[in-house]
């Protein structure tokens, strides 16, 4: 194994972490009243899943939260999505 490969940045990791950070900022401020910046962060978070089987579900979830409709199923979908992105980051770094 070439050591320099271990020190090279992995493509997409920084972008994935940025999307999760934007989601986390919204989470810490709460989803009861979502402003434009948090709605944009949720939309960016949902866009990560656009080409996956979760794409429709995450887009629907982001729209519900932006509209002020937060329920258990919505929060579970967001938590699952966050876990999936961070799991992909973990796998990429291995």
Residue pLDDT, tens place only, 9-43: 888 899 999 999 988 988 888 877 888 888 899 99
Instruction: Name which of 72, 93, 92, 80 is nearest 23 in CA terms.
Output: 80
> Average pLDDT in the 47-68 region?
93
The domain tally of the chain equals 1
Q: Has residue 45 been placed in a domain?
A: yes
- C-alpha to C-alpha distance for 7 and 56, rounded to whole angstroms: 36
Sign of CA dihedral 34, 36, 37, 43: positive
Residue 64 lies in a domain: yes
| 62 part of a folded domain | yes
Residue 43 tokens, joined: 């939309």
Identify the pLDDT of residue 68: 87
Range of the domain at 67: 20-93
Q: Is residue 14 part of a domain?
A: no
Residue 8 lies in a domain: no
Whether pLDDT at 1 is above 70: no
Residue 4 lies in a domain: no
More confident residue, 56 or 93: 56
Asked, for residue 60, whether it belongs to a domain, the answer is yes
Q: What is the pLDDT of residue 30?
A: 82
What is the pLDDT averaged over residues 75-94?
92
- Looking at every residue in the chain, the average pLDDT score rounds to 89
pTM for this model (two decimals): 0.83
Which sign does the torsion angle of CA 20, 23, 29, 31 carry? negative
């Amino acid at each position: 194994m070439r050591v320099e490969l271990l020190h090279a940045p992995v493509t997409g990791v920084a972008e994935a972490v940025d999307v999760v950070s934007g989601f986390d900022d919204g989470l810490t401020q709460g989803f009861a009243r979502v402003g434009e910046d948090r709605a944009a962060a949720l939309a960016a978070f949902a866009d990560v899943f656009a080409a996956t089987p979760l794409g429709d579900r995450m887009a629907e979830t982001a729209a519900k939260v932006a509209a002020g409709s937060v329920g258990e199923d919505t929060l579970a979908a967001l938590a699952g999505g966050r876990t999936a992105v961070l799991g992909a980051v973990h796998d990429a770094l291995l």
